[in-house]
Amino acid sequence: MSPLVAGLLQTGILVTALAVVYRPLGDYMARVFTAEHHLRVERAIYRFARVNPDAEQKWSTYAYGVLGFSFVGIVFLYVIQRAQSLLPFGFDRGNVGPGMAFNTAISFVANTNWQSYVPEAVLGHTVQMIGLTVQNFVSAAVGLAVAVALVRGFVRHQTDRLGNFWVDLVRGTFRILLPIAFIGAIVLIAFGVTMSLQSGVDVDGQVVANAPVASQEVVKELGTNGGGVLNANSAHPFENPNEWTNLIEIFLILVIPVALTRTFGRLVGDRKQGYVLLSVMAVIWTAMLAIIWAAEANGVRPLEGKELRFGIPGSALFANATTGTSTGAVNSLHDSYTGLGGGAALLNMLFGEMTPGGVGTGLYSILVMAIIAMFLAGLMVGRTPEYLGKKLGRREVTAAAVSILAMPTVLLIGAGIAAVLPSTQAALNNPGEHGLSEILYAYASASNNNGSAFGGITVTSDWFQSSLGLCMLFGRFVPIVAVLALAGSLAAQKKVPVTAGTLPTTGPLFATLLTGSIVLVAALTFVPALALGPIAEALL
C-alpha cells in the first residue's frame, strides 16, 4: 500500500484503540483515587513504611512527601550505579562514573529518562531492574498523584487537606501501572520483544547485546518515561520488532495521558470539562503530526536514522507521540530529521508537554495553562477570573505563572551558557544551525522531562552532565511544588456560584482560548532561539 494509506491506516487503528479504552480506563482511574478500600498489598506497604493511609495531608506535607520520596530515589539510584561492580548480572561493565551516575539518577527519578550512557556498555541487568524499572513505575505514579491532588483542589471547598501522597502513589502503581504493564509485557514478548538474562546473543557470528527488555519496555512507554533498555531505544528490533509492536508502544505512550482527561471530567463532576481539554490536545497533536510526517516525507535523506519496517509514517507517528507526551523514547533518530520535522518535535516539547503530556504531568500542566488562559480572558473583560467554581486571585495566578515559567527559565539559561562555552563545539555531531538545534533540543528535552535527544551531541562532559541534571531537577520539581501550592490555595476557597457572567469552560470559545494560550506562550518565549536553529535550517 502507498505510504499515505499506510500512515492513515495506522493512525486510524491507533485512534480507534484509544477511543475504545478512553471511558473504561478514565472512569477506572477516577475510582482508584476516590475508593475508600485499601488492597491487602497496599496495607502491608503502609504498615512497613509506618504511614497512616487514612490521614489526609496539607499541601505542604504532600509536597514534602513528593520531594522526600524523590530525594531518596535519587540517592538510591546513584549509589547502586556507583557500586554496580558488586551487583550480579553486571557483565564486568564496572561502576558508573560520578557525573553519569548523578545525571542518570536525576533523569529517571524526574521521569525524564535522558540517557547520557550507552546501556549495552554501561549498565547491567540488576541496575536496570532494581533501579531504573522501579523509577519507571514510581516517577509516573508521582505525576499521577500530583495531578489528582490538583484536581482535588478544584473539587474540595474550605479545607486544607489534599489527600495522602503515599496512598495516591501506591494506588497509582498497583492499581493502574502494574496490571497494565504485566499484561503488556507478555503481549510484547508474544509479538517478539526479548526478555533475557543473558548479556547477548550470537547472530551469524557476531554478538548483539540482549537484556530483560519486555518488562522495562512496557513501563517505559506506559509511564511516559522513555529510557531505552538498549541504546537504539524503540528503534532496536529487540525492543520494537515489527509494525504491530510499534503501534502497541505508541498506544501505551498515549493511553494514560489521554484517558486522564476523562478521569478529570469524572472527578469534577462534569465530563465536558474533560472533553474540552482532550479536544485541545487532539487539535495540536494532529497538526504537529501532519507537519512532522509531511516534512519527513519530503526530506533529502528521509531514511537516514529510520527503520525500514516502520517507514516514514510509522516513524512520524512515534516521534509525535513521544514528544507530545513527556516520553522521549524514539523509534527513529530525531537528529537526522529535516529542519522542519525535527523542529516540530522540539516545538512539541516547548509547548510544555501537554498535548497530551506525560502521565499526570500532562493533565496538571494543561490545567495550569487553563488558569493562565482564564486569567488572560479576565484581563480582557475586566473581571476576576474563575475556573471550575474557584476564583483565580493573586496567589493562584502567581503559582500558575511560576509553574509555567520554570521550564523556559532553566532551558534558556542552560542552552545559552552551553552555546557560548568553547568546549561545546567539540561535543556537536553536526555543524552550523543544526549544531545549535542539538544544544536547544538537549536543554528542551531535559527541562521538559522528555528525554529524547538529537542524539549526536556528546553529553558526557561534566558541564553537560551537571547542567542537564539540574535542568531536569528544576524542570520537574519547581512546577510540582507550585502546582501543589496552587491546589492548596484552591481547596481552601469557597465554591463560587455560576452566574450569567461566568465564562463557560466547556465550549469552543474556551478551547480556542486555551489552544491560543499554549501556542502563544511557547511562541513568545522561544521564537528567537528557534529562529537561529530549526527555522534557519528549514529555510536553507
Partner 1 sequence: MNNFLKQSWAGLRILLALTVLLGVLYPLSVWGVSRIPGLHANAEAVDTTLVAVAREGDQYFVPRPSAATLPASGGSNKGELNEDYTSVVAERRTEIARREGVPESQVPQDAVTASASGLDPHISPDYAALQVPRVARASGLPVEEVRELVAAHTGGTFTTTVNVTALNRAIDSAR
The secondary element (H helix, E strand) that includes residue 6 is helix 3-32
How wide is the angle at C-alpha 364 spanned by C-alphas 360 and 368, nearest 5°?
A: 165
Q: How far apart are CA 416 and CA 142, in angstroms?
A: 31
Residue 464 near partner 1 by CB under 8 A: no
> Nearer Cβ to partner 1, position 310 or 375?
310
* Residue 271 C-beta: closest distance to partner 1, Å: 32
The three grid cell numbers given for residue 277, joined into one nine-digit string: 481539554
**Closest CA relative to residue 351, chosen from 313, 377, 312, 320:** 320
CB of 318 to partner 1, least distance (A): 11
Residue number with CB closer to partner 1 (189 or 413): 189
Let me know: does 258 contact 278? Beta carbons within 8 Å: yes
* DSSP string across 48-90: HHT--TT----HHHHHHHHHHHHHHHHHHHHHHHHTGGGSSS-
Tell me the three cell numbers of residue 18. Answer: 484509544
78 binds partner 1 (CB under 8 A): no
Residue from 212, 223, 362, 389 in contact with partner 1 (CB under 8 A): 212
Given candidates 18, 101, 105, 193, which one binds partner 1 under the rule CB under 8 A?
193
Among 325, 331, 355, 452, binds partner 1 (CB under 8 A): 331
| Subset of 160-189 contacting partner 1 (CB under 8 A) | 166, 169-170, 173, 178, 181-182, 185-186, 189
Tell me the helix, strand and coil percentages in the chain, rounded to 5.
Answer: 65, 5, 30
Secondary structure letter of residue 37 according to DSSP: P
# residues contacting partner 1 (CB under 8 A): 117
Q: For 406, what's the count of Cα atoms within 13 Å in the CB-facing half-sphere?
A: 25
**Contact with partner 1 (CB under 8 A) among 19, 35, 197, 520:** 197
By CB under 8 A, what part of segment 222-241 binds partner 1? 230-232, 235-238, 241
Angle between helices 339-350 and 271-297 (to 10 degrees): 160
Q: Please state the closest distance from residue 455 (CB atom) to partner 1, in A.
A: 5
Q: Which stretch binds partner 1 (CB under 8 A): 15-23, 262-270, 332-340, 374-382?
A: 332-340
Binding mask 34-73 for partner 1 (x = CB under 8 A): -------x--xx--xxxx--------xx--xx-xxxxxxx
Sequence length of the chain is 540
Contact pattern from residue 241 through residue 260 relative to partner 1, giving x for each residue in contact according to CB under 8 A and a dash for the rest: x-xx----------------
- Please report how close the Cβ of residue 258 comes to partner 1 at its closest, in angstroms: 22
Which of 16, 36, 40, 204 is the binder for partner 1 (CB under 8 A)? Answer: 204
For residue 508, is the peptide bond before it cis, meaning its omega torsion is within 30 degrees of 0?
A: no
Please pick, from the candidates 17, 32, 87, 134, the single residue that binds partner 1 as defined by CB under 8 A: 134
Closest to 263 (Cα-Cα) out of 1, 30, 511: 30
- Whose Cβ is closer to partner 1: residue 88's or residue 382's? 88
- Hey, what's the cell of 152? 482535588
Which residues in 299-318 contact partner 1 (CB under 8 A)? Answer: 299-311, 313-314
**Pick 102 or 337: Cβ nearer partner 1:** 337
Q: How far is the CB of 532 from partner 1 (least distance, A)?
A: 14
Q: How far is the CB of 304 from partner 1 (least distance, A)?
A: 4
1 near partner 1, judged by CB under 8 A: yes
Task: Give the C-alpha separation, 445 to 103, whole Å.
Answer: 13
C-alpha closest to that of 448 among 538, 259, 322, 282: 322
Q: Which is nearer to partner 1, 28 or 64 (CB)?
A: 64
| CB 361, min distance to partner 1, A | 19
Nearer to partner 1, 487 or 522 (CB): 487
b/e 111-141 (16+ beta carbons within 10 angstroms → b): bbbbbbbebbebbbbebbbebbbbbbbbbbb
Q: Which stretch binds partner 1 (CB under 8 A): 196-204, 411-419, 465-473, 518-526?
A: 196-204
Is 194 among the residues that bind partner 1 (CB under 8 A)? yes
| 386: β partners | 391
| Residue nearer to partner 1 on the CB measure, 44 or 523 | 44
Judged by CB under 8 A, which of 99, 120, 277, 387 binds partner 1?
120
Q: Which is nearest to 111 in space by CA: 80, 135, 81? A: 135
Our finding on whether 121 is near partner 1 (CB under 8 A) is: yes
Chain residues 418-447 in contact with partner 1, contact rule CB under 8 A = 429-434, 437
Fill in the DSSP letter of residue 128.
I
Residue 531 binds partner 1 (CB under 8 A): no
| Position among 107, 112, 139, 215 found at the interface with partner 1 (CB under 8 A) | 215
Among the listed residues 154, 165, 158, the one whose alpha carbon sits nearest the alpha carbon of residue 56: 165
Binding-site string for partner 1 from residue 486 to residue 525, where x marks contact by CB under 8 A and - marks none: ----------------------------------------
Task: Give Dmax over CA atoms of the chain in angstroms.
Answer: 76
CA angle centred on 223, ends 267 and 115, rounded to 5° = 145
Considering only residues 366-395, where is the footprint of partner 1 by CB under 8 A? none
Question: How many other C-beta atoms lie within 10 A of the C-beta of residue 31?
Answer: 11
* Minimum distance, C-beta of residue 223 to partner 1, in the bound complex (Å): 11
Report how far residue 446's alpha carbon sits from residue 428's, in angstroms, rounded to the nearest whole number. Answer: 17
